[in-house]
Amino acid sequence: MYRKQLTAYGERSRQQVYETLWDFVHNTPVNEALASDDMLMQALAIVDARVGKRRLAQLDPEELHPLCGYLLLLRRGQTASLSPSQYAHARHTSVAATQAV
């Protein structure tokens, strides 16, 4: 009953994580994983070595889950001074400012 709500929030059972990992490694092309609504699948695709610099440059961190956006910036080498919590706070403030306008 609450599985979808917890998954949307980012909570997963161990079995769900294993299933996602297995699916990523054996069944899902990288481009499909990048376009996935599944945060874990996106994160795995972003850190995958098969995703090159040009493909990373095409991705917008604001359109991704905050964790995936941070991992994307890490892969690009753009987060030297930001911790994950600082990134999340900065992202939340910019989204709130955009919605207020």
Per-residue pLDDT tens over the stretch 28-48: 999 999 999 899 999 999 999
pLDDT band at 1 (very low <50, low <70, confident <90, very high): very low
| Secondary-structure breakdown of the chain: helix, strand, coil percentages, each rounded to the nearest 5 | 70, 0, 30
Buried b or exposed e, range 3-24, using 16+ CB within 10 angstroms = eeeebeeeebeeeeeeebeebb
Residue keyed to tokens 């440059």: 57
Q: Return the structure tokens found at 95.
A: 């989204």
Rounded to an integer, what distance in angstroms lies between the CA atom of residue 91 and that of residue 61? 10
pTM, rounded to two decimals: 0.73
